[in-house]
Structure 1
């Protein structure tokens, strides 16, 4: 028996009924075209580095392209991080990236006991988030250990191993298991985002330069509205907060300290200066007149009649 097959059996413990030649694997998905072996892409975070390098396409779930496999398998990375069973990754990879063995003409499916062990360990975790065990992972579809398949790992149960890991956590630090799992969701999103096959990239300088003329054109064409918003809204809000005075009170204060007492022309000119150079409302149409009338009526009407500074 070739060395590669021996290595795979030692790694995954492929089970068969006797020492005779293994039977063909029992596939519950029948591909519509001939299956081929392809290297497991490095961007497939779920199964990259699993212990073998080649996988069958289509896989056990009917995904007929590496792109589709990467898209669908990425959704199961959070379940791996929950450590609900130590064979979870092996079970998922046996479906999403079934090992390609030269001696076998098709994918090697997981054994039913492997599916049941992972299901029993992970269903409580998935249920805590409102997800059922998917029908495509129906364990009755997989063969018993009497056929060529990938069995569950021997030895200590995966859930017990995980419970031993949690014994180090002080009691009382977690209110309930479901709450603890929900709190970890945000961390999982951040961690799995880094392993996603899709990269979040910044806009390249070439693309930015391509849109620069359009941006400049829009700014020049609508500059009046940009300036209007900046002067009439932003500056007014900033001055209201810093000075603590309303616009009318600021107008009265400026006219009172800069205009000639008793000179209507000086008062009007000073108000124009205040509008154009201080408050930037010189070109807002009737708004300037309303501000002046309001200021004159409520605050500085007596300045027009006065002969001196108050």
Structure 2
């Protein structure tokens, strides 16, 4: 799968895009719903396994990825409810733990000071279906976090969009296993929805662009994946949570892409890629070859390979 058109500029006006979207919805029965964002099933994350992954709670429930000790990325829709911008200080961010209710010295908490939603962010609606374009935002914390072994900023595999594209191409060519994370619902019952206090993890594999069927304007900005296990499904509440492939942080959860093909319902997880927004949000300052290892993991590898053999 190629990450094509990531440099393609929007040559369609928004009205034309909306008309095209409405036609697509009515003819294909397809939509991306951020209300059905992530993991039912999966496993519980281990302490310090995802030190850049955050829990974000305000009027809605979301995830986030720490970029610096004072800023984080999340979905634009986490800051816009019913078309209105949410008050920054009403949003609480928790990091450093894999259970948001646990009382631990690892736990750090802050309010949001301010945020910037992408200027082209827009929710397109057609009947009961919707599709959000440029669904990404960068927020600043009121109180910066402190770097610890369980809470650290993300290390992106490249400093610019071109470099991030090369990493994605590598992931695709090697058919690398990906990981989705989130604190979303643990069931799909709309009447008695139960949310997870634990950070959940699911193993995923990427889906070809032709099967993903994201809006044309978002090709290259979004990607689809499917679970490697049948019992790992999507559920509300995880929009904005960290998405990784082969140890590389590449994006965040957006929702589900659901459509009907040959009488069969097809459903994929949709992820917003960070690569196309590296320059827009100036994300290139924290570059690394791969996501940082937890110290315990490093020590295990050290003793395995470096300890003198008799």
Q: What band does the TM-score fall into relative to the shorter chain? A: under 0.3
Higher helix share: 1
TM-score (normalizing by structure 1): 0.18
TM-score, L = length of structure 2: 0.18
Larger Rg, first or second structure (1 or 2) = 1
Q: Which has the higher strand share?
A: 2
